[in-house]
Amino acid sequence: MLILILKLIKKMKNRKFIVTLFLTLISVVFVGQNLVEFDKSSAVENALKGLSTDISENWAVVATPQRDINDKKSVGGVLFYRLAEGKWNLFQEIYPNDLNALNNFGTKVSIDGNTAVISSIGDHENGLFSGAVYVYEFNYDDQTWERIVKLKSSDAALGDKFGQSLEIKNGIIVVGALNSNGANLKTGAAYVFEKVNNEWIESSKIYADTGKSNSFFGFSISILDSKHIAVGAYNDDGNKERSGAVYIFKKSDNSWNQSVKIYDENGFSSDLFGYSLTSMPSLLFNNNSSKFEGILYIGAPGTNDNDLQTGAVYFYKETNSGWTNGLKLIEIDSNHNDHFGVSVSSNEYGKLLVGASRVNTDSNLNAGKVYLYDTYEGQGNSVANGIELTKDAETAYDYYGAKVVIDEENILISSPYSNQNSLINSGEIYFYKLDIDNIASTNEELFTFKQNIPNSFKNSTTLEYTLKVQAYVKIEVFDATGRLEQVLVDEVKDFGVYNQKFNSKSSGLYICKITIGSFTKTIKMLAI
């Protein structure tokens, strides 16, 4: 394995800069690589399984947006997988019978804890392809995912494509509407939904203040933290016409306002800058900071650095002087039309996953590859441990890596155009287990959080944690149904050793969730 550690960002006065990182990767067998054992009933021709996916804790949601239902074309559906005893198993299939042909239920999916959001871009309640988003929650009593509400934009109209992108995170839902009217006709917009009195309410509509028609604002979204949202517009005018741009919106006084437009100053037309987005918050973010303390990764699969449309991924940070591009990631062995950066995902450990779904392998066109990097050193100023992932039994036009997702310990990669069980374009997904020993030990170096003592307890138990730096700490306790019982800690703590007591109201299973910076861990506690 080739390990490259490059210190790239230097202080430069009054000008932006780009440093290009070329990597040659050695193919290796990845720890835990395996194809999930599918229920054969979930393999359906032209379903495009995995065109959109997401992971949260022990849940994974996988889209089948073109699945036919009861002779209705492309109604769509989703699959929920659950991680139990180290294995991902198909838990629930949702194929709504009340939807119509071409609804494409599952166009995009996102999940956060026990809440999942699923878009249906073809919903035509407000005109053809006006679009809609459904919110599902997990019912702990019935052990099933249940539909809670259907969301539409306040100004829904024909052809908006509301739900082209979406994300749920930090207590908000953001939905992209590719053809909604913003500053001009069909510039695209995004809608922010927040939970008020246990109901999801549209709180804001955001759009580019100078956007033009067909810029595709809202094609990609990343919720950076509770105060920052990034929205991609890959057909917008950045440095050149249609080179692409990303807009950052900041929340102030309960209002979301555009703060900056990001683009490659050396970019060219059709770079597709902003086609994909992901972000890594700082482990030790200051809850009161006005800046985004982390890294924003921007995929531009159309860039021509080595050949036409080889692709690239850009690293951006918000500094006191504004948003700064410190690194541009490119594969040195890239070829024409690889589309490196067509999908990106990151976790709090600094692991960056990049899809290049059109890579030609030795024997197969557009089979696809995925690349895993360690970017934590220096908060995005360096890259190490490049690992190349390929699909088992690859075939031409699988587009492996069309969608990639990574969380603390798991990776999910889709190959939506593969022919599972000889069914054309049925699609496949692959689960991988991260090698924990190789994950940056930053969390362990900065803090520890022990199992409660005693674990099985009467009335009272103690939680011990140690901070080696100042950090924002939040400790919450939930009952077995997922209902919040108590908030034990919610403040910035100095370094030191802390013992926090929890007094139970009744016997039973409790779930304790600790958040330190952007890192979250849960433990189970039993009151007897």
- pLDDT band (50, 70, 90) for residue 219: very high
Quick: pLDDT tens for 471-516: 778 899 999 888 899 999 988 777 788 999 999 989 999 999 888 7
DSSP notation for 319-363:
ETTEEEEEEEEEETT--TT--EEEEEEE-TT-EEEEEETT---SS
Taking a C-beta distance cutoff of 8 angstroms, is the pair 156, 126 a contact? yes
Q: How many residues does the chain have?
A: 528
Omega prior to 454 cis, within 30 of 0: yes
Quick: pLDDT tens for 176-209: 999 999 888 889 999 999 999 999 999 999 999 8
CATH class of 442-527: mainly beta
**147 has a pLDDT exceeding 50:** yes
Quote the pLDDT of residue 389.
81
Quote the pLDDT of residue 397.
86
Q: What is the mean pLDDT of residues 427-431?
A: 92
Quick: pLDDT tens for 250-260: 998 889 999 99
Backbone angles phi, psi at 446, to 5 degrees: -95, -30
Quote the pLDDT of residue 319.
82
Quote the pLDDT of residue 439.
39
Taking a C-beta distance cutoff of 8 angstroms, is the pair 220, 229 a contact? no
- Sheet with 245-252, strands from edge to edge, namely 217-225, 228-233, 245-252, 255-262
**121 has a pLDDT exceeding 90:** yes
Quick: pLDDT tens for 376-389: 543 344 455 467 88
Taking a C-beta distance cutoff of 8 angstroms, is the pair 482, 295 a contact? no
Per-residue exposure over 84-98, b if at least 16 CB sit within 10 Å of its own CB, e if not: eeeebebbeebbbee
Beta-bridge partners for 508: 527
CATH number of 20-123+159-438: 2.130.10.130
pTM equals: 0.78
Quote the pLDDT of residue 440.
36
Quick: pLDDT tens for 288-300: 567 887 899 999 9
Quick: pLDDT tens for 437-465: 443 333 445 677 888 999 889 999 999 98
Residue 487, Cβ density class (10 Å: 0-12 exposed, 13-18 middle, ≥19 buried): exposed
Quote the pLDDT of residue 233.
96
Residue limits of CATH 2.130.10.130 in the chain: 20-123+159-438
Helices (H) and strands (E) in the chain, counts: 1, 37
Residue limits of CATH 2.60.40.2550 in the chain: 442-527
Quote the pLDDT of residue 42.
64
Backbone angles phi, psi at 179, to 5 degrees: -115, 15
Q: What is the mean pLDDT of residues 321-327?
A: 83
